[in-house]
Structure formats: structure tokens, C-alpha cells
Structure 1
Amino acid sequence: MAAKPEKKRKRAPGPKSEGAKSNPKKPKVFGSNIPNKVSKKPFKSPGKEHLQHAGKPKVQKGDVDDKKLRRLQAKELTEARKKKRKKHYTLEQELALLWEKMRVRDIKKEDRSKHVSEALKKMKGKIPEIASSHVSSRVLQTCVKHCTQDERNAVFTELRPHFIALISNTYAVHLVTKMLDNASKKQLAEFISSLHGHVASLLRQMVGSLVIEHAYNLGSATQKQALLMELYSPELQLFKDLVTMKETRLVDVISKLQLQKSSVLRHMTSVLQPILEKGILDHSIVHRALMEYLTVADESSAADVIQHLSGSGLVRVIHTKDGSRLGVLCVKHGNAKERKKIIKGIKGHIDKIAHDRFGSMVLVCILSVVDDTKLISKIIIKELRGNLKELILDQNGRRPFLQLLHPNCPQYFSPDDLTSMSLSIPSIRNKAESDTNSKGGEAVEEDRSGEGETSDTSIHLNEGSKKDSFTRRQELLVNSGLAEKLIDACCEMAGELLRSKFGKEIVYEVATGGADGILHPTLDEKLATFHEAIVSLAMQPKLDDAEEEHILEHFHSSRTIRKLVLNCPAFASTLWEKALKGKCATWVKGHSSKVVSAFLETSNSMIKELAKEELQPLVDSGHLRLPVAGDSIKND
């Protein structure tokens, strides 16, 4: 019987997923003639040369000349397209070559003038179009910088009809500002006159506002007022003759021209609101306009401005005089939530603000008004302590410390600074006064529920605060540890501070314990150590060949020590016992004589008795002269 052929063994089926068919068919793929196996070689798309020269024979590897020819043809084609697309393409190429020559640093002045004149001749008649070009505008800027005055006047004349269009151009704006820097008084007046009717619209643009601000800073007081007046009323935009008036305050302008206050308020709101929403807050003309707006704004409108400015945006405002005053008003009239946003918004910028002439006054206001001393200590005091030694030597940086040590002292703050601190918004002040009268003399208190959150229906805006001034100062200065650090820094830098024009005032306030004795009695031991540090400098012998003047003979330090002798008995007794007793004859000439004579001028009888026995013979012999009362005040 023949053997049966062996059947092929079937492979065991693999595990099936639920719902899978036993013999699933492969899905049809578009282009089914493509082989299943993928080639290992990467697919290369056809290049531009292949598409451009389709149907032509393939270039061999050795055919280099043909490749160069194609590149040249492609370059010529690109050049031809640029010439069609750009009107002054050839001129731009020529100007670029001249620019490379004229901007070299070591070029001779005659050669540069030659290249500049050649470039200006080529640009004549096309300057407004070139000024808007990304490439050629830089060439024109260099030419304006180095050309003669006659050539600059010719450029100004050609640009004059196109100023408004150029101001809004991203590239031309730099040329316009450079033209203003080199403009004569007549040209500047012409430029500012050409802006009439466009100031408000240009201030709403990021680019245009830069030129308005530049012109505002360069202009005279009359020209500045002309730019501002357009923001006040539509009538002042339309009629140019109304702008030329001497009144500077908006209230006076409204009274003089008999304008409707509601119309002015409505127009200024429409101008300033987009500026605030876009965050165009860096310009001094905007700060001035906002300050004038707050003088006529009602309570609700003023609250909207304060709300917009409260936060990180205030850092960009407080670097100008009017901006600083805006910051002070926001702090004084803001509610608890807005004050918190202001303090958190300036976090990380405290050192820079403290060094600024105007910004430092906003810090002074915060330290004088805000009741949340824990938040201030956590943010402001912490950053001030980090750079303490540098700040106490700086004219502006020392102000926050002086305000805590001796608030609102006319000796340390100018009348203008004190005026800024006393400003208030009329509508909010009047509202607060009416509320006070209606409540029988009780002040309107700040709503602190929910961490200062206020409802939309009621606006809690207060000038000042609830907390007692001395209590606030003690919490910020003593309880925060700032005073201890301040005394340590003064001990370490006693000589440098006493000889410094600005640091000497910190020394005096710290050594006397501050106004109202705020550092006593908590830090009496520290203060005694500080007195010893000053006296140890005074104990050093007087040397003719010393590198720096003795502490008793230096102009600033001698006057500070004299004031301490007059007003700080504890220091005066230490100085006498350890440094001057038995040595007064050495110090009766020069600036040091003022220190010695102070022991006889002091109102403290005990100190006077200590020195009288030794000093009286020097006075009788004429070696020591006591100053007249008028001289004494002048020297102090």
C-alpha cells in the first residue's frame, strides 16, 4: 500500500483580541502597487534645480561650470525680482556700500563728509521714502548725524510735509528723534506746530508716543503746554489759537475759556483710558495729563485711574516728578487691596526705586501711610536691609531711613518733596470730609475684611491710615530689626559716614535715638557702642602728614559732632571724658574749634559744668572764640 504524503503542520493560531476576525483582510492602501518592504535609503524630494530644469539631461558630477552657470542665473533672477518689487533697490545697494565706508571709526573727517554728501545727493527727492526703509533709514540717520547744518536743514525741509506719517513708522521714528536732537529752535517749533490735532492719537501708539515724549522733553514750557492742551478738550484740538495761553493748570484753563467740565472730563477719559489699557505708562507727558485729570475727575473716575496704576505698572511711572506724585496719590487714596498690589508690584525693584530722586518719595509715602507693617517688613524693609551700607551714603537712598527716624523733617526733605507728600485728590478728599461730618467727626475707616477686598458698589478710598504714626514707625524700624542693622552699619562705617555730605545726617539721627526717642530704651546699649565708635575716631592723635583729615577737623564731621554735643548729652559726656579733656588747647583752631565751643553753648548745665573749668581760660585769652547766635545757626 503506497504511503500517504505527509500533511504540512499548521502553525498554531496566536491569541486573538476580542471581536477580532479569524482571517482579517489587509486594508487596501492607496497606491497598492507600492511594495510592502520599505527601502532603507531615505527618500529625497526633487530639488528646485530639478523642477526648473525638468526634461533636461542630468548634469554629471564633473560638470562644475554648468552648476556655476545655474547659480549665476538664479542670482540674476532673484535680483530682477527684487528690482521689480522694490522701487529704490539699486539706490539701496549703492547707499549700503557708502554706509560701510562712512561708519568706520578710524575714518578721516574729510573722507566721511565726502561720503555723506555723496549719499545725500543720491537720496535727494526720495528722502521720505528712504526714511521708512528698513535698510536705508540707518544710512540716513548716519548722514544726519555727520552732515553739515545746511545739509541737515535740506533734509528737514524735505521731511516736513511727511512728519505725521513718519512718526508712526517703526524705522523712521529713529530718524525723526535724531532730527529733533539736532534741530534749531525754529525747526523744533515748526515740528511741534505740525503735531497739532494729532497728539492724542499718536500717544495711543507705542511708536508715535516715543516721538511725542521726545518733543515734549525738548520743548519750552509754552511748547509743552501746547502739546498738553490738546488732551484737554476737542475745542483745543480744532482751534489752534485757543492753545496759545499762559494758564498751565487745567482748572484755570476751564475757567479762562469757560469750558464745560463734564465735556473736558469725557474727552480726557476717552484719550487716557486707551493709553492706560495699552500700558503706555513711561512718558512724562502722560503722567502730567493724568495729574491734571485727577484735579477735575469725580470720585469714580479717580478710582478707575488708581485701580489701573496699582500694581507692577507703577514702577514704570514713578521715575518722573508727576509720576512720583501719581504714585503718592495711589498709595494715599488706594484701598487695602490696591496698596497690597502696589507693594507686591515693586518687589524686586526696591533698591533701584530708593536710588531714584522721585521714586524714593513713593517709598517714603508707603512707610508713612500703609498700616500693613508685616507686608512692608517682608518686602520693602527686607530689600532695604540687603543694600543698607550703600543706601545710607546715597542722597536719595537715605530718605526712607530718615523718614522712619525723623518723619517729614524740612532739613532732609525739600519743600517740593513735602508738597508731594501732602497732595490729595479733590473729589476723594471732599467725599471723605462730607463722610466725616455726616458721621459726627468719625473718620471713614478702611475695609480690611477679606484681605482688603471691596465690593463694586462701595469704594473705600482713604487719605492716610488708622494706625498711630509712632506705632507704625516702631514696628517698621525697631521690631523688624532694621534699627539694629542700621546701628551696626553706622558703627562699622562711622568715619566714612561722618565725612560724607549725606551720610552724616544718618549718623546724627541714629546717635540721638531718632525723633521722639524711638530707639530708646530698646537699643540704648547699641547706641552707647555707636557713641564709643565715634569717640574712638576723635581720640586719634592730630597728625600733619595724615592721609585724611582728622574727624574733628573735617568740614562735615566737625559740624555733625558739634550738633551731637549740643543735643545729645550722653554722647557729649563720653566725648569730653575720653577725647577732649585736657587736650582742648590742641583743637581751638580751625573747624575743630566749633566742637570745643559747643560744650559752652549747650543748654545742658551738667555738660557745660564739665568743660567750663578748662575752656573758660581759653575764651578769656582769646584763643577760643564763641560764635554769635547768627553764626551758630548758619554753621549748623
Structure 2
Amino acid sequence: MAAKPQKKSSESKKRKRIPNQKPEESIANSEKSKLTTSPKKLKLSSSNAQNKVTKKPFKVYTKDYQKPSVKKDEVDTKKLGRLRAKELAEARKKKRKKHYSLEQELALLWEKMRCRNIAKEDRSRWVTEALKKMKGKISEIASSHVSSRVLQTCVKHCTQDERNAVFMELRPHFIALASNTYAVHLVTKMLDHAPKEQLAEFISSLHGHVASLLRHMLGSLVIEHAYNLGNATQKQALLMELYSPELQLFKDLVTGKENRLEDVISKLQLQKSSVLRHMTSVLQPILEKGILDHSIVHRAFMEYLSIADPSSAADVIQQLSGASLVRMIHTKDGSRLGQLCIRHGSAKERKKIIKGMKGHVDKIAHDKFGNMVLVCIFSVVDDTKLVSKIIIRELEGNLKELLLDQSESDGGEAVEEDTNGEYDLSDSNIQLNEGGKKDSFKRRQELLVNSGLAEKLVDACSEMAEGLLRDKYGKEVIYEVATGGADGILHPTLDAKLAELHEAIASIAAQPKPDEPEKEHILENFHSSRAIRKLVLDCPAFASTLWEKALKGNCAIWAKGFSSKVINAFLETSDSAVKELAKEELQPLIERGDLSLPVVE
């Protein structure tokens, strides 16, 4: 085999140094050689040469430069073109829309009649003119974007006779209009201004269509509106159609006396399984579409759960548990559904519900029914870290507003009343998961004390003491906090903070009696005097502070009026040490008849 040619040694590739050349010059020459390339390397390919963008030089205009003039004929041609295009568009609209010209006339009238600062006579004249133009065509143009708005304004401001005429024209078309994007607002406006006879007639026209309209996003708005405006009998008539096909066909089978589904089933001898199947077919599409904001839907779900077997109930609760539940708890039945989902749902479902409340806790807390769901969470959910992270952190941000809110003061009573309400959905009916396995005192301590909420609550009460004492609902809150909470949950962790709260209340009570008769002292106010009396009876630490700081030596001033109830509390208290504090000063008042000893039973 021929010998392979030997590779050139690396030494031959080295650049030869020119004699007497300085290192700096050598480096400069090497850099220059890198920049120098052969013409072949610099030559662009034909494709690249074609794609190369050449920059155009900037034009420099002198003062004498004049823009090229546009001929008048060209301007006229463009204007004519635009006018021609506009005419063609108008012609197409006239061809496509039967009442296009009428709508244009109505739009001009609408711009006049909808202004606020106009005389009633002028508005009535324009409304009458518009209704005359629409007469006989109202049902045809009610679905139009423009005409429906004109009709809404007319219905709002027209006379009752004119409104009756509109109702008669729309009467045969209510079902179709209830599902139309624009006409749905006209229908709800008609219901708002309808007398009792027309409302009854409208609800009667919905017979046989309630279930289908509830599955429609727009139609459900009309059903909900009619449900809220109707009386108890009319509400029941709308609900009956969701229970059984027989009730859709024969609406006179049931009178208004049967308020609950169980009563209807027992009276008509219906099969519970058949009713459950029909209600499932009605309610399942509503669940899937997320149409869950309406009170009639909430009531239907409550009736369904009242007769459902455990498997069906568990399936519904699982589907309801989540962010969508927040949209339901603003109604009485929706709040009950929320509590059922929390009480009987799994830990995973409870977690989904609580996470779905993120960003809405403050609104829920202020809601008359929604706050009950929060109370239920505090009473049942064992994951106190999750509750503290999402719910309590949001409540802390608006603590001062919540202290004076009615919902926060009577939420516990409302939950207790709700559990004794018309629905008995106990474990005997729904045997599902039951929360609240953790010790209740431990759960409360983790939520209230360990989370830091209690400390902020005491500080807020100290800062707002006078306002809370004078408030009908705030006085209940400050009483609970000042006494240390149920079972003394705030003791001994926050004893120092509670002493500061007692000092704050006593300082307000120590202020001199105002000279102006319209200004009430804290001891003379109806609400605050009763709250302070309760504190004296139930909190010896507060009673001692109040005596030493405000009442000692001044009892004769407060022995009459509402303030006398506070003084008498020192005689009625069961704490002997508090009695001894006031005994010496109160004895002369008793002898004079200004105070009376408590009656011992």
C-alpha cells in the first residue's frame, strides 16, 4: 500500500515574524489580515443581490417647493364615489330590513325623548308620535337593536292606555321575544310596569315553556323576573312545571296550598322516581350551562335535594361545589345550598368552594344570606390554614366596616334559624360526608387567635369603642369582644389587649355630661347604656375599671334615666368583689329612694 502523505507540522502554519518588527505592529498586521478578504468572498450571490434593500436618499425640499396640486375633478370624483357607496349601503339595508326607514325615523324621535332635561309634555308628545308610527308593527320591530330601545323608552313614559295597546300587540309573541338578544329587555321592562292583571296573564302565557326558557341564557332572565314579581301562587305555578310532565299538561291539578314538592307528590300520588328523573333532565342542562344566578333555580335544587337519594344528592353537591357556588349564595335558598355543599361535601370539594371565594369574601360577608355560608365554613371546615389564608386575610382588610354591619352581628342567629327552617335536610335524608371532626374550641382558637384576627379585632374595637356602643348592631360585637368571647377564648393570650379596651370604654364614660340637650352622654344613650350594663354584670374586670375610672364619686349624677341601669348593675352583679366596690357609695342613694335593690327570686 502506498504510504499516506504526512500532515504538515503545526510549525509550518505559524506566521513568520518579520525581522526588526515590533510586537505592536505584528498584532496590527494580523488584525488587518483578518479584515482583508478575497474578491470571491465578498461577491454576493445573484439571489442575495436581488433581495438586497437599497435605501432611497432623503428628499430635501426648499422654501420654494410646492406640493403637486390635486385637480378639482379628482376631489369631486372621490366625493361622488363615497356618496355612491353610501347610497348602495342604504339600498342594501332597505332591501334587507323591512322597516329600515321606520327605524331611522324612530331613532330621531328617540334622541329627543330620552333626554333628561325636557318638559314632560314634549316627551309625551314624542312618545305618542313614535307609538303611532309603530302601531301594527310592534311585534315585527321589537327584535331590532334600535326599535327595541325606542319601545323601552316609550313603555316607561307612555300612558297606561298606550302601554295596554303595546301589551296586546306583543302578547302572542312573548315566548319568541323572551329569547331574543334585544327584545328580552323590552319584555322585562313591560313586566316592571305591568298591572296585576297583565302580570298574571303573562305568567299564564309561560305555561309549558318554563323549563325550556330556564335552559336559555336570555330566557332564564325573563322567568326569573316574572318569578320575583309574582305572588306566592304564581311562583308556585312556575315551579310546578319543573317537577313533572303531568303538571305541565294539567296546571290545575295543584292549588297554591301545596308549597313543597313532597306535598305535591303525596297529594297527586306521583312516583318519586319519575319526578326525580324529570327534574334531573331539567336541572342537569342548567348545571352544565352554568345558569345558576336565579332564585327559582336555587329553589328547584333545594326541592330536588329534599327528595333525592344519597347518590343523586352527592352528584348534585359535587357539581355545585366550586367557584360557581359564589353566584348562588346571595339568595335564601342559594345560601342553604351553599351550606349543604360545605356540610356534606368532601374535603376536596370544600377546598374548591373556599378557593372560589377568593376576591369575593368582603362582598359575601356583607350579604344578608351569603354571610351564613362563611359562618358555616368557620363551624365545619377543619383546614384552618386554608380558611385563614383566603377568608380571614380578606376580612382583616375591611374589619372596621364589618364591625358595624348588620349581617356580621346576627349571622349566628340567622344560621340557627336556617337549620330549623322549612327544609329538613339532615343526615337522615342525605347520608354523606360530615365535616367538623376537629375539636370546635381548637378550631376557633386557630381561626381567631392563632391567625392574628383576634388581636386586630380588639384593636379595632378600642379605636371605634364609642361608635360601636351607640350602634344597634355594633354594641353586640363590642360586648362579645370585651368579655373575652364564648368560653373565654381570648383569655389569657389577649388579656393585656382586653384591659386596653376596658380602659377605652371607661375613658369615654368618664367624660363630663354635655351641656347641650341634643348631645347624649355614652351612659345616657339607649343602646350604649344597655351594652355597658351587660358588661358590668358579665365582666368583673371591666366593672372594676369602669368604677375606678368613671363612676367612683359620681354615682349621684347618673342615678336617673338610662344611666341608672348601669349604676343598678353594680347591685345586681353576682361578683361579690364588684358589689363591695360600690356598696358604700350606693347605700345613701338606696336610702333616698334614687336606687332600688334588685328583687331576689
- Is this a same-fold pair by TM over 0.5? yes
Per the alignment, residue 271 of structure 2 pairs with: 260
Matches within 5 A, 1:54-93: 61-62=72-73, 64-93=75-104
2:425 maps to 1:425 = yes
Q: Tell me the CA shift for residue 430 of structure 1.
A: 4.9
2:113 maps to 1:142 = no
Query: Once the two structures are aligned, what percentage of the paired residues are identical?
Result: 78
Per the alignment, residue 132 of structure 2 pairs with: 121
Matches within 5 A, 1:195-206: 195-206=206-217
Q: Tell me the CA shift for residue 617 of structure 1.
A: 2.0
Contact 1:324–1:361 (8 Å) recurs in 2: yes
Change (3 A) 1:146 1:520: same
Q: Tell me, what secondary structure is at the counterpart of 1:587?
A: coil
- Higher RCO, 1 vs 2 (CA within 8 Å, ≥6 residues apart): 1
Q: Which amino acid aligns with 2:120?
A: K
Per the alignment, residue 193 of structure 1 pairs with: 204
Matches within 5 A, 1:50-449: 61-62=72-73, 64-398=75-409, 408=412, 412-413=413-414, 416-419=417-420, 425=425, 429-430=428-429, 432=431
Per the alignment, residue 52 of structure 1 pairs with: none
2:594 maps to 1:619 = no
Q: Tell me the CA shift for residue 626 of structure 1.
A: 5.3
Q: Tell me the CA shift for residue 15 of structure 1.
A: 10
Q: Tell me, what secondary structure is at the counterpart of 2:557?
A: helix
2:437 maps to 1:470 = no
Q: Tell me the CA shift for residue 610 of structure 1.
A: 2.3
Per the alignment, residue 476 of structure 2 pairs with: 505
Number of aligned residues: 550
Change (3 A) 1:393 1:37: closer
Per the alignment, residue 492 of structure 2 pairs with: 521
How far apart, in 1, do the equivalents of 2:209 and 2:168 lie? 20
Contact 2:242–2:300 (8 Å) recurs in 1: yes
2:491 maps to 1:553 = no
Change (3 A) 1:528 1:62: same
Q: Which amino acid aligns with 1:205?
A: H
Change (3 A) 1:481 1:69: closer
How far apart, in 2, do the equivalents of 1:399 and 1:348 lie? 23
Q: Which amino acid aligns with 2:545?
A: T
How far apart, in 2, do the equivalents of 1:187 and 1:276 lie? 32
Q: Tell me the CA shift for residue 144 of structure 1.
A: 0.7
How far apart, in 1, do the equivalents of 2:515 and 2:289 lie? 65
How far apart, in 2, do the equivalents of 1:563 and 1:425 lie? 37
How far apart, in 1, do the equivalents of 2:46 and 2:538 lie? 106
Per the alignment, residue 590 of structure 1 pairs with: 561
Per the alignment, residue 607 of structure 1 pairs with: 578
How far apart, in 2, do the equivalents of 1:124 and 1:593 lie? 73
Per the alignment, residue 443 of structure 1 pairs with: none
How far apart, in 2, do the equivalents of 1:550 and 1:158 lie? 65
Contact 2:465–2:505 (8 Å) recurs in 1: yes
Deviations 1:197-234 (A, max 9, x none): 00000000100000000000000000000000000011
Per the alignment, residue 447 of structure 1 pairs with: none
How far apart, in 1, do the equivalents of 2:93 and 2:394 lie? 57
Deviations 1:552-589 (A, max 9, x none): 11111110110111111111122122221221111011
How far apart, in 2, do the equivalents of 1:333 and 1:238 lie? 36
Q: Tell me, what secondary structure is at the counterpart of 2:337?
A: helix
Contact 2:215–2:286 (8 Å) recurs in 1: yes
- Structure 1 stretch displaced more, 316-325 or 578-587: 578-587
How far apart, in 2, do the equivalents of 1:413 and 1:295 lie? 21
How far apart, in 2, do the equivalents of 1:393 and 1:36 lie? 75
Per the alignment, residue 3 of structure 2 pairs with: none
How far apart, in 2, do the equivalents of 1:490 and 1:609 lie? 29
Q: Tell me, what secondary structure is at the counterpart of 2:448?
A: helix
How far apart, in 1, do the equivalents of 2:154 and 2:430 lie? 59
Contact 1:364–1:399 (8 Å) recurs in 2: no
Per the alignment, residue 435 of structure 1 pairs with: none
Q: Tell me the CA shift for residue 89 of structure 1.
A: 1.0
2:543 maps to 1:572 = yes
Contact 1:429–1:463 (8 Å) recurs in 2: no
Change (3 A) 1:73 1:514: closer
Contact 2:178–2:184 (8 Å) recurs in 1: yes
How far apart, in 1, do the equivalents of 2:223 and 2:423 lie? 28
Change (3 A) 1:549 1:37: closer
Q: Tell me the CA shift for residue 591 of structure 1.
A: 0.8
Deviations 1:138-194 (A, max 9, x none): 111111111100000000001000000000101000000000000010000000000
Deviations 1:300-346 (A, max 9, x none): 11111111111111110000000000000000001100011111110
How far apart, in 2, do the equivalents of 1:384 and 1:71 lie? 61
Contact 1:329–1:424 (8 Å) recurs in 2: no
Q: Tell me the CA shift for residue 39 of structure 1.
A: 11
How far apart, in 2, do the equivalents of 1:608 and 1:67 lie? 101
Q: Which amino acid aligns with 1:499?
A: R
Matches within 5 A, 1:6-85: 13-14=40-41, 61-62=72-73, 64-85=75-96
Question: TM-score, normalized by length of structure 1?
Answer: 0.82
Contact 2:335–2:372 (8 Å) recurs in 1: yes
Q: Tell me the CA shift for residue 425 of structure 1.
A: 3.4
Contact 1:389–1:489 (8 Å) recurs in 2: yes
Deviations 1:73-97 (A, max 9, x none): 3333332222111101111111111
Instruction: Say which one has the larger Rg.
Output: 2
How far apart, in 2, do the equivalents of 1:97 and 1:279 lie? 40
Deviations 1:90-144 (A, max 9, x none): 1111111111121122221111111111111111111011110111111111111
How far apart, in 2, do the equivalents of 1:626 and 1:225 lie? 58
Q: Tell me the CA shift for residue 418 of structure 1.
A: 4.8
Q: Tell me the CA shift for residue 370 of structure 1.
A: 0.6
Contact 1:353–1:360 (8 Å) recurs in 2: yes
Q: Which amino acid aligns with 1:573?
A: S
Change (3 A) 1:254 1:123: same
Q: Which amino acid aligns with 2:376?
A: C
Contact 2:372–2:415 (8 Å) recurs in 1: no
Question: TM-score, normalized by length of structure 2?
Answer: 0.86
Deviations 1:484-536 (A, max 9, x none): 11111111111111111111111111111111111112222221221111111
How far apart, in 1, do the equivalents of 2:419 and 2:220 lie? 31
